[in-house]
Structure 1
Amino acid sequence: MLSQHFVQDFGMAVRQLREVRNWSQEQLAGHSDLNRSYLGEIERGQVSPSLITLHKLAQAFQMSATELIVQTERISLLRESQRLRLAAIAG
């Protein structure tokens, strides 16, 4: 289950980075040499991208693959923090 959350968080990171640049999915597809519909699946957390895809996306965003993973980790930490806060309120 944890890995599925990571896949979803990765998709959210990709979407956030794309939106900060005001790119459409088609524009990101052009910059990364990936299919637009595949990018949609990544952003929705429906697929687990390969290392090659990670590399292509990082290059498109002009960052390292490590920086893209760090962005994903930040989202994961925020998600967990929110979950714990809600559990404390409910508990």
Structure 2
Amino acid sequence: MMQKDVLQLVGHRVRDLRKERGWSQEVLGEKGGFHYSYIGQIERGEKNVSLLNLVKIADALDVSVTQLFAYLDDEEKYTESEADLQEIVRTLRTKKPHQVRMARNVVRELVSDSYEV
């Protein structure tokens, strides 16, 4: 994988996470302490962003730094269950903490040994 590819993949991931939240580049920039044009350069793969700035961006997006690298192994194939899990996580990421806990409790109840279909 070429270095430019990595920059573009990470940039696309930052853009997708930002858009999932309905944020503009300006909003992400404000939350992370960056100028919006810098965010645009990162998203287009034009900037070799430092690790410390990646941490700030991840914090602003409320994700782990590793989630910014989710596209690096784009050859990885997901099973049907993994794809479903990814969709559930994407959905829950935008919910309030009490809603996430409620979903967790529902899932625990559904998969407990006492639950029968």
Shorter-chain TM-score range: 0.7 to 0.9
Greater relative contact order, per chain length (Cα 8 Å cut-off, separation 6+): 1
Aligned pairs for 1:20-59 within 5 A: 20-59=20-59
How many residues end up aligned between the 2 structures?
77
Matching residue of 2:63: 63
TM-score (norm 1): 0.76
Q: CA RMSD in A?
A: 1.9
Structure 1 residue runs of 4 or more that deviate by more than 3 Å after TM superposition: none
Question: Offset of 1:67 from its aligned partner?
Answer: 2.2
Unaligned 5+ residue runs, structure 1?
Answer: 82-91
TM-score, normalised relative to structure 2: 0.60
Higher Cα Rg, which structure: 2
Rounded to whole Å, the distance in 2 between the matches of 1:73 and 1:53 is: 18
**1: CA distance between counterparts of 2:71 and 2:34?**
20
Q: d(CA) in 1 for partners of 2:54 and 2:71?
A: 12
Percent of aligned pairs with the same residue?
39
Structure holding more helix per residue: 1
